Structure 1
């Protein structure tokens, strides 16, 4: 997902996996090693997300097939949510189903009206193994569901049907990044 501000970070910016990359279409594995490599991955995810002006980024979007994502995302009341989650599980997605514009760093420059629940709860752990529960509403709930989809090997385009799906497919075919593959 995309955002506008770029706070500082200590990680390195990694190349993004774009639509069509196999890493985006395979479920990710659970993290079992909570050591310094995981901490570096989380720092790199933040650096990459900020460099590309995102609001969330999953590890498989940088070619690492592990269940980790980071976020720096506002909710509909402009409250900022900042953090990461390791081995997350979507335990609730409910409330109203809303269609809203959704983009993805792995489909740069594109977006489509995508249906998501306006409430979501994710449980997992921090990079040190401490349990964490993340509650999201509005746009932040959309972000949580979007990143969870990535970890399951799905992208927002997989939720589209009919003319929305056909329109996005035509837009993808016209992008320079897709033609360069």
Structure 2
């Protein structure tokens, strides 16, 4: 396992749409393990393959709190099949937007169909933090970022902050 570099906004690779996974290979299993190590080291509750520069429709989530055992969930080729409860506004952060936390509108409850790390199809209905995390990570696979779900003023503030951070990191 290895810790991968997490892409930060405004990296254009974050806008690329992920491609469906057609076969579970040893390389894909290694990617999933690397993503888990990367997410835990960051630390975060979710990570999409596109955030580490890999074009696969895969994301992982672990919303267990620090005093609970890890509960890593792997979603391959995920799709939301049902949304429920209207939209609620709640705080979100993102490993591709370090130091940014903004209120984002998300469905209260979602049902997602995906494959696990072994290729077995499953369906899951999620609420609260898990629902938000699923919607957030699925957006990444479609090239949609949390900044795209912000109002104009908040978007400008976050863009400036991230561009300043990018310029400082570049040297």
**TM-score computed with the length of structure 1 as normaliser:** 0.85
State the distance in 2 between where 1:54 and 1:109 align: 12
Match 2:2 to one of 12, 22, 35: 12
Match 2:16 to one of 26, 38, 41: 26
The range that moved more, 93-102 or 147-156, is 93-102
Partner of 1:93: 83
Match of 2:55, SS?
coil
State the distance in 1 between where 2:111 and 2:9 align: 27
Task: Quote how far apart the aligned CAs of 1:81 are.
Answer: 5.2
Q: Against the structure 1 CA distance between its residues 26 and 120, is the aligned structure 2 distance closer, same or farther, given a 3 Å change threshold?
A: same
How many residue pairs match? The answer is 168
State the distance in 1 between where 2:82 and 2:31 align: 27
Match of 1:98, SS?
strand
Match of 2:62, SS?
strand
Runs of at least 5 residues in structure 1 that lack an aligned partner in the other structure: 1-10
Match 2:31 to one of 28, 38, 41: 41
Q: Which runs of 4+ in 1 moved over 4 A?
A: none
Q: Against the structure 1 CA distance between its residues 81 and 96, is the aligned structure 2 distance closer, same or farther, given a 3 Å change threshold?
A: farther
State the distance in 2 between where 1:100 and 1:74 align: 19
1:156 aligns with 2:156: no
Q: Against the structure 1 CA distance between its residues 92 and 81, is the aligned structure 2 distance closer, same or farther, given a 3 Å change threshold?
A: farther
Superposition CA RMSD, Å:
2.0
Runs of at least 5 residues in structure 2 that lack an aligned partner in the other structure: none
8 Å CA contact 1:58–1:150 kept in 2: the answer is: yes
Match of 1:180, SS?
helix
Q: Against the structure 1 CA distance between its residues 113 and 20, is the aligned structure 2 distance closer, same or farther, given a 3 Å change threshold?
A: same
Partner of 1:65: 55
